[in-house]
Amino acid sequence: MEYQGKELFRRVGIATPRGHFSRDAADVAAFVAENPGSWVLKSQVLMGGRGKAGGIKFADTPQQASELASELLGKVLKNVQNPDGERVSALLVEEKVAIASEAYVSITIDRSTKKPAVLVTAQGGMDVEEVAAHDPEAISTFWIDPAIGFSPFIARRLAFAAKLPLGFHKHFPAIVGGLYKLFMEYGANLVEINPLVLTEDGRVIASDAKVELDDNGLYKHPHLAEWRNESPADEDQEAAVAIGLGMSNYAKLEGDIGVIANGAGLGMGTMDAIRNAGGSAANFLDIGGGAQAELVKKSYQLVVSDPKVRALFINIFGGITRGDQVARGIVQALAGDDVRKVPLVVRLTGTNEKEGRAILAEAGMNPVETMDEGARIAVDLARA
């Protein structure tokens, strides 16, 4: 959430507004009473566009703060990103700053170059996708070689290329350097400041924060585990974590054909193949790389526990993941009498595929050769 992202920002030296995290309206009012001034009450939810959804309010007095906090806490915010909505259970109360200018800066992985990409634009406060669609030349990008790392000239070059107001320039190298340090040390997929604010008194501060950490790197920072407990996880996320997957590795969908694949791209490709064959996926499940037999078994059990699943397509391209381990997991899953059985289609290719095929053949299963073939058979089985 935002307040957690800003805590990480402060650890790497990036300035943020004065603020107070709270889950109680009386506590919010007491804070405003002790710190007279103008304050912003920001709903802490895992969705963008909070302002348009009514999740941000302004208060100048303790009474206003109490009333608005009571209004926000418990409210369900909905927008295009999250039509079902998310209930507000916490607020971040921050000083209202006098804004002279806004910018946008982020670092994410560019998988085509296998490098972190730094994106900067002077059009802060807007969705970067919107800027890219209407004014792509306004976004400046630099790809950092991880073997060399960050150098201040990168930030200076980006500041000039993006035509940031001069007030940003002095502070920008330290801000981008801090973001890069956070990105690398904490194993992030994305770090984003939108907007990065230049105040009328010359400060440059992160007015908002978005940090997406890779679940696979959290073991290096066990102190962050408690943050996960504070963040609302839906049933799908809890189910994924319970069997040893990341929070974003499993999600239920509306169809009736279960999907298990190794890799998000292959999983989405499998779902597309099912749709092209006239069917609909019941879930997305990325089993990840290097999956062992036990995880395959638990993933199978998780998918078929959904009563609407009428067939299951397991699509594995072996790289780090070994075909024989996947095959053993499938056989182990089907051996239990307490596990629901559904028609199963398996595609194994890559590392140890011959060994995997042999294990499946011994258990009476014949894997398919291609993804499209597997999708077509799974759709036929679901309709039978």
Task: Evaluate whether 253 touches 306 at the Cβ level (below 8 Å).
Answer: no
Residue 228 pLDDT > 70:
no
Residue 67 pLDDT > 80:
yes
Residue 157 pLDDT > 70:
yes
- Count other Cβ atoms within 10 Å, centred on residue 307: 9
Cis peptide before 367 (omega within 30 of 0): no
Pick the catalytic residue from 104, 186, 250, 300: 104
224 within some domain:
no
Residue 259 pLDDT > 80:
yes
Q: Give the mean model confidence (pLDDT) for residues 148-177.
A: 97
Percent of the chain whose predicted confidence (pLDDT) is above 70: 96
Residue 357 pLDDT > 60:
yes
Out of 156-165, 230-239, 257-266, 348-357, the most confident range is: 156-165
> Quick one: which of 341, 334, 287, 275 has its CA closest to 314?
287
Residue 366 pLDDT > 80:
no
- Count other Cβ atoms within 10 Å, centred on residue 6: 25
277-298 pLDDT, tens per residue?
999 999 999 988 766 778 888 9
3 within some domain:
no
Residue 296 confidence (pLDDT) = 84
Strand positions, DSSP E, the chain: 19-22, 39-43, 56-59, 76-77, 86-87, 91-95, 99-110, 115-121, 139-143, 188-199, 204-206, 210-213, 250-252, 257-261, 283-285, 311-318, 344-350
Q: Which residue has the higher pLDDT, 169 or 360?
A: 169
Residues 209 and 256 occupy one common structural domain: no
Residues 139 and 256 occupy one common structural domain: no
Q: What span, in angstroms and rounded, lies between the C-alpha atoms of 224 and 101?
A: 33
3-state SS, residue 203: coil
229 within some domain:
no
246 within some domain:
yes
CATH number where 164 lies: 3.30.470.20
Domain boundary at 185, 204, 219, which?
A: 219
Residues 180 and 262 occupy one common structural domain: no
Average pLDDT, the chain: 90
Residue 234 confidence (pLDDT) = 61
Residue 316 pLDDT > 80:
yes
3-state SS, residue 87: strand
Task: Evaluate whether 117 touches 189 at the Cβ level (below 8 Å).
Answer: no
Residue 104 confidence (pLDDT) = 97
Percent of the chain whose predicted confidence (pLDDT) is above 90: 64
175 within some domain:
yes
Is 254 a catalytic site residue?
A: no
Task: Evaluate whether 194 touches 106 at the Cβ level (below 8 Å).
Answer: yes
Q: Which residue has the higher pLDDT, 382 or 128?
A: 382
7-54 pLDDT, tens per residue?
999 999 999 999 999 999 999 999 999 999 999 999 998 887 888 889
Residues 165 and 264 occupy one common structural domain: no
> Rounded to 5 degrees, what are φ and ψ at 60?
-115, -15
Residue 219 pLDDT > 90:
no
Residues 249 and 346 occupy one common structural domain: yes
Task: Evaluate whether 28 touches 63 at the Cβ level (below 8 Å).
Answer: no
Residues 250 and 373 occupy one common structural domain: yes
Q: What span, in angstroms and rounded, lies between the C-alpha atoms of 144 and 146?
A: 6
> Quick one: which of 248, 267, 265, 249 has its CA closest to 257?
267
Confidence of residue 327 (pLDDT cuts 50, 70, 90): confident
Residue 28 confidence (pLDDT) = 97
Residues 168 and 254 occupy one common structural domain: no
Write out the two tokens for 201: 């008194």
Q: Give the mean model confidence (pLDDT) for residues 331-341.
A: 80
In order, the DSSP letters of 239-304 are HHHHTT--TTSEEE-SSSEEEEESSHHHHHHHHHHHHHTT--BSEEEB--TT--HHHHHHHHHHHH
Task: Evaluate whether 131 touches 104 at the Cβ level (below 8 Å).
Answer: yes
225 within some domain:
no
DSSP code, position 340 = P
Residue 284 confidence (pLDDT) = 95
CATH number where 278 lies: 3.40.50.261
Residues 280 and 292 occupy one common structural domain: yes
Q: Which residue has the higher pLDDT, 340 or 172?
A: 172
Is 192 a catalytic site residue?
A: yes
1 within some domain:
no
Confidence of residue 117 (pLDDT cuts 50, 70, 90): very high
Domain coverage including residue 321: 242-383
Residues 68 and 86 occupy one common structural domain: yes
Q: What span, in angstroms and rounded, lies between the C-alpha atoms of 139 and 158?
A: 9
3-state SS, residue 227: helix
Q: How far is CA 216 from CA 247, 252, 355, in A?
A: 10, 22, 28
* pTM of the complete model: 0.68
Residue 233 pLDDT > 90:
no
10 within some domain:
no
Pick the catalytic residue from 94, 102, 192, 353: 192
3-state SS, residue 108: strand
Domains: count for the chain: 3
